[in-house]
């Protein structure tokens, strides 16, 4: 072929190659009908190259219909740069800005619903804006989760109220109302009129740590009332028929219930022979029993659900002359009766070597603090 004819053919081939490369460099939305391209991969923010008002608007509409809100926003913003007063472009851009974060909340909602996590459903539902289309999209699953959770909680609260465990029943009602506020008025009626199994629950009194300074302050009682703290009694200070009323040492400061003095001392704690000792002295005499009794298996899960991070118990333990636990009572209980009862039951099984004073065994009492980390 003559050289004069080869040159035009080479130029045409180069032109076609350039056009093909330029066309390939664009990623068109919906099979090549637009000009939306991905920008920096690390930011995952789409960059739209404006072609024409008609094409850009069509791309924005198509991305919004497919719930691709970042792409819809990019196309709408590109059109608004060319036509700032374009009403539909403004509406699409505003919708995209609203729905992008709500779409993420809806994805968390769908994940919780798929796992039957009713609490997770309630939390994710609150994060979806009322004006969002995802609110209505999520509503059927939300109503189903609410009905399941509320029915279960209501049943538990009723059963607890029937046996007089009013504090536990009210806690369930309170938590349910926090997760699903629209049922609060209904579920509050479940515990209305609940009467505790123990009608004579003592009042709670704030008590500072019991040390020498507390003894000094306790010397002056308030007229017409019992002192909140009495000095730690010694063997000489205890009168026949009188039992000590306070812990040997409890730190940090905790609220403990006051209780009327027992008419007679418990077994193993004869009047006039009880000695207050530090918790460490009693621990050194331990023969059997876990010094930190385990909580029931479901208590920590319930506490986590309630947002509780730490459970703190304080117990007065008295040991008889033979080393058996003669009495154990809560000085600071938790909000969970099942946990309180389980810990006291475990403590009553503890066994110790007799505490000796001048070679003779004697009954002793001490106060212990039992902290439990929930998380």
47 belongs to a structural domain? no
Domain residue limits at 309: 204-218+238-373
Percentages helix, strand, coil for the chain (3-state, rounded to 5) are 45, 15, 40
Question: For the segment 92-122, what is each residue's pLDDT rounded down to a tens digit?
Answer: 999 998 999 999 999 999 999 999 999 899 9
Ordered DSSP codes for 84-99 = TT-HHHHHHHHHHHHH
**What pTM did the predictor assign?**
0.44
Residue 2 has pLDDT above 90, yes or no: no
46 belongs to a structural domain? no
Strand partners, 47: 37
Total domains, the chain: 1
275 belongs to a structural domain? yes
Q: How many CB atoms lie within 10 A of CB 36?
A: 26
Give pLDDT, residue 84: 92
Q: Which residue has the higher pLDDT, 269 or 79?
A: 79
CATH of the domain at 259: 3.30.2420.10
Residue 230 has pLDDT above 60, yes or no: no
Question: For the segment 138-194, what is each residue's pLDDT rounded down to a tens digit?
Answer: 999 999 999 999 998 888 888 888 888 888 888 898 899 888 988 888 888 888 888
Q: Are 350 and 325 in contact (CB under 8 A)?
A: yes
Alpha carbons 88 and 61: distance in angstroms, whole number: 9
Ordered DSSP codes for 211-266 = SHHHHHHTTSPPTTS--S--PPPPTTTPPTT----S-S---S-EEEE--PPPSSPP
Sheet holding 275-276, edge to edge: 275-276, 364-373, 310-319, 325-332
141 belongs to a structural domain? no
44 belongs to a structural domain? no
103 belongs to a structural domain? no
319 belongs to a structural domain? yes
Alpha carbons 353 and 278: distance in angstroms, whole number: 15
The phi, psi pair for 37, rounded to 5°, reads -120, 155
Long-range contact pairs involving 196-200 (C-beta distance under 8 Å, separation at least 24): 196/164, 196/165, 196/166, 196/167, 197/163, 197/164, 197/165, 198/164
211 belongs to a structural domain? yes
Mean pLDDT of the 228-241 span? 44
Alpha carbons 263 and 364: distance in angstroms, whole number: 19
């Amino acid at each position: 072929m003559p050289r004069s004819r080869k040159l035009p053919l080479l130029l045409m081939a180069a032109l076609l190659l350039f056009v093909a490369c330029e066309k390939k460099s664009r990623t068109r939305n919906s099979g090549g009908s637009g000009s939306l391209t991905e920008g920096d991969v690390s930011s995952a923010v789409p960059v739209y190259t404006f072609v024409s008002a008609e094409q850009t608007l069509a791309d924005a509409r198509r991305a919004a219909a497919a719930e691709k809100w970042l792409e819809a926003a990019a196309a709408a913003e590109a059109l608004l740069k060319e036509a700032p007063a374009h009403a539909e472009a403004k509406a699409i851009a505003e919708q995209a800005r609203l729905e992008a974060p709500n779409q993420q909340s809806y994805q968390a909602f769908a994940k919780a619903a798929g796992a039957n996590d009713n609490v997770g459903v309630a939390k994710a539902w609150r994060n979806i804006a009322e004006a969002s289309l995802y609110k209505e999209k999520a509503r059927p699953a939300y109503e189903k989760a609410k009905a399941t959770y509320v029915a279960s909680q209501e049943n538990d609260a009723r059963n607890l109220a029937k046996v007089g465990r009013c504090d536990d029943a009210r806690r369930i009602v309170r938590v349910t109302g926090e997760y699903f506020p629209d049922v609060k008025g209904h579920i509050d009626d479940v515990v209305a009129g609940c009467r505790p199994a123990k009608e004579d629950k003592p009042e709670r009194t704030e008590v500072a740590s019991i040390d020498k300074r507390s003894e000094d302050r306790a010397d002056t009682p308030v007229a017409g009332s019992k002192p909140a703290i009495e000095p730690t009694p010694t063997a000489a200070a205890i009168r026949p028929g009188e039992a000590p009323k306070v812990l040997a040492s409890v730190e940090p400061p905790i609220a403990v219930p006051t209780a009327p003095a027992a008419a007679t001392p418990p077994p193993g704690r004869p009047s006039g022979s009880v000695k207050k000792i530090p918790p460490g002295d009693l621990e050194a005499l331990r023969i059997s029993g876990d010094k930190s009794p385990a909580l029931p298996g479901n208590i920590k899960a319930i506490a986590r659900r309630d947002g509780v991070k730490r459970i703190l118990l304080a117990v007065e333990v008295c040991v008889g002359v033979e080393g058996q636990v003669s009495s154990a009572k809560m000085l600071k209980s938790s909000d969970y009766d099942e946990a309180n009862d389980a810990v006291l039951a475990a403590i009553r099984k503890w066994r110790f070597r007799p505490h000796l004073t001048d070679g003779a065994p004697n009954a002793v009492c001490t106060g212990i603090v039992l902290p439990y980390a929930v998380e």
